[in-house]
Amino acid sequence: MTNSFAEFAKAKMIFVIGSNMTEAHPVAASFVKQAVLAGAPLFVADPRRTALADMAEQHIPIRVGSDVAFLNGLMSVLITEDLYDKAYVESRCNGFEELRTKVLEYPPERAAEISGVSAETIRTVARRLASVKPVMLMYTLGITEHTCGVNNVLSCANLQMLLGNVGFECGGVNPLRGQNNVQGACDMGALPNVFPGYQRVDNAEARAKFEKAWGVTSLPDKPGIMIPQMLEGLASGKIKAFYIFGENLANTEPDIRHVEHCLESAEFIVCHDIFPTETTRFAHVIFPAAAWSENDGTFTNSERRISRVRTASPPPGEAKPNWWIFREIARRMGHMWPSKSAREIWDNEVSVLAPSMAGVKYNRIRGNGLQWPVPHEEHPGTPTLHKHRFTSGLGKLVPVEWTPPAEVPDSKYPLVLSTGRRLYHYHTRTQTGRAAGLNDLLSEETADISPLDAAELGIGHGEMIRVASRRGEVKVKANVSDRIPKGVVWMAFHFREACANWLTNPVFDPVSQTAEYKACAVRIEKT
């Protein structure tokens, strides 16, 4: 996020797109709702009428996968009606002419045709967004989990820059991250193209720095591959050994049947986990790991805040911290790593090697932690990014074209399946399924469908139905809900048997390799 959670409650106007915050990020949502109670108008763009939409000045029910067209439509109004922030765009951004040309190809009438909301709504929303400054924009996976995910993100950024809303308190572009430490895993360089602190592996200087620090030579200079390519590599035989640390890929990746085929093809799989999972079934060696409250360490949240994690109890049996396991493998391959605790790893390695975290030391993060960039030890941290100037100089406006989802409904599969998370469980329930009480509140998956589709197909609320896609099918209870628009089926991936990922489409954004979990074609029928 460019900004911080504390700013949500103080925001003057809020635009939420593709985020079911009350279920996936309930505490973040509480700040948004407080802002609304304090008078901030809220706009929610989402195919579903989410709980947050109930509190909105306007819910904008765009069609699944039409985000770029809708956002381009808003921007075309801002430009044609002269409502954008000219001074900001001129002094702080580049690429305006190219953006202008592109978005003018999306007048409200065309954007309306693609997005399913009226041209009048698009005009009204654009005018309202331009009427207050700054507007705070939040998005979540409704934006990213598309084959055009990167373009969706760029469009959000384009809109906020055009409105002159980036670089201010209570403004900015704010993706809410799904996992407690997904930000941190990125920051630490668990990505194929960067070392810790986003220093590129194809930069010779960066490699030389890490070679020196790690006491090694010839670090690989070519960016590696991402998860979908790894799975394909297993199937094709290119990847022989696969190391899975704390992920349940057999449930979380699209098209479970195919994913399991890939995992089966591996010559050697190592897993670290705290429980046996659908994925550890494919392992050749499983290491028992210390869980959350059995570790000392740090997490980094969505607002780039590095906070402490502390040990409450020892791990069971012989389970060990993950950092220790990696260190032991390195040792057995001839590498002696000096750091003997999470604190030593952070203080002596991470903060020394990653300039944006240079000022973060364990003795500085006892209380509320610090938000990177923290370039030196006297620096107080950075709650708001891009103040006065963009980190990279000028804000880049990037024209983007709308593209439909890879698989759209047809006569055989006439509905769109969109997926996500529900309040009472977390991902594949490895943890929440074993916490007393949560299963009582949500004990099974449902397929959420609109009353209109239900009536057309004669499906009653709570009746078992079959949901089928080109990848597979599941039997699941129908949840007939007026929060779902006609033509959409909505499911989560918390329960194995009726997991949405038996159905989802393994197609990916060409840049980010994010799967299109939010859109594939399905058919539903009574069982």
Interface with another protein (CB under 8 A), residue from 86, 212, 261, 284: 284
Question: What are the residues whose beta carbons fall under 8 Å from the beta carbon of 75, sequence distance 6 or more?
Answer: 84, 99, 103, 106, 126, 158, 159, 162
Distance CA 8, CA 6 (A): 6
When asked if residue 273 is in the footprint of another protein (CB under 8 A), the reply is: yes
Site string for another protein, 79-98 (x = CB under 8 A): --------------------
When asked if residue 188 is in the footprint of another protein (CB under 8 A), the reply is: yes
When asked if residue 41 is in the footprint of another protein (CB under 8 A), the reply is: no
Question: What are the residues whose beta carbons fall under 8 Å from the beta carbon of 269, sequence distance 6 or more?
Answer: 241, 242, 243, 244, 263, 282, 283, 284, 285
Question: What are the residues whose beta carbons fall under 8 Å from the beta carbon of 247, sequence distance 6 or more?
Answer: 279
Cβ nearer to another protein, comparing 247 with 445: 247
When asked if residue 177 is in the footprint of another protein (CB under 8 A), the reply is: yes
When asked if residue 208 is in the footprint of another protein (CB under 8 A), the reply is: no
Q: Are 163 and 41 in contact (CB under 8 A)?
A: no
When asked if residue 307 is in the footprint of another protein (CB under 8 A), the reply is: yes
Cβ nearer to another protein, comparing 80 with 439: 439
Q: Residue 406 CB, nearest distance to another protein (Å)?
A: 16
- In what helix (H) or strand (E) does residue 130 lie, and over which residues does it extend? helix 119-130
Distance CA 299, CA 305 (A): 8
Query: Restricting to residues 436-475, which ones interact with another protein according to CB under 8 A?
Result: 436-438, 440-441
- In what helix (H) or strand (E) does residue 175 lie, and over which residues does it extend? strand 173-175
Residue 488 CB neighbours (<10 A):
22
Interface with another protein (CB under 8 A), residue from 318, 378, 410, 482: 318
Cβ nearer to another protein, comparing 146 with 471: 146
Residue 177 CB neighbours (<10 A):
19
| Angle in degrees, CA 444, 447, 453, rounded to 5 | 150
Query: Restricting to residues 482-511, which ones interact with another protein according to CB under 8 A?
Result: 509
Query: Restricting to residues 157-176, which ones interact with another protein according to CB under 8 A?
Result: 176
When asked if residue 192 is in the footprint of another protein (CB under 8 A), the reply is: yes
When asked if residue 525 is in the footprint of another protein (CB under 8 A), the reply is: no
When asked if residue 238 is in the footprint of another protein (CB under 8 A), the reply is: yes
Residue 411 CB neighbours (<10 A):
6
DSSP string, 184-216: HHHHTT-BTTEETTTEETT-HHHHHHHHHHHT-
Cβ nearer to another protein, comparing 303 with 448: 303
Helix (H, G, I), strand (E, B) or coil at 419: strand
Interface with another protein (CB under 8 A), residue from 3, 16, 20, 33: 33
DSSP string, 292-311: GGG--EEEE-TT-EEEEE--
When asked if residue 283 is in the footprint of another protein (CB under 8 A), the reply is: yes
When asked if residue 34 is in the footprint of another protein (CB under 8 A), the reply is: yes
* Listed ranges 255-263, 323-331, 401-409, 473-481: which one lies at the site for another protein (CB under 8 A): 323-331
Count of residues near another protein by CB under 8 A = 151
Interface with another protein (CB under 8 A), residue from 267, 377, 456, 497: 267
What phi, psi does 258 have (nearest 5°)? -70, -45
When asked if residue 274 is in the footprint of another protein (CB under 8 A), the reply is: yes
Query: Restricting to residues 333-362, which ones interact with another protein according to CB under 8 A?
Result: 333, 335, 337, 342, 345-346, 349-350
When asked if residue 16 is in the footprint of another protein (CB under 8 A), the reply is: no
Interface with another protein (CB under 8 A), residue from 96, 139, 168, 287: 287
In terms of residues, how long is the chain?
527
When asked if residue 58 is in the footprint of another protein (CB under 8 A), the reply is: no
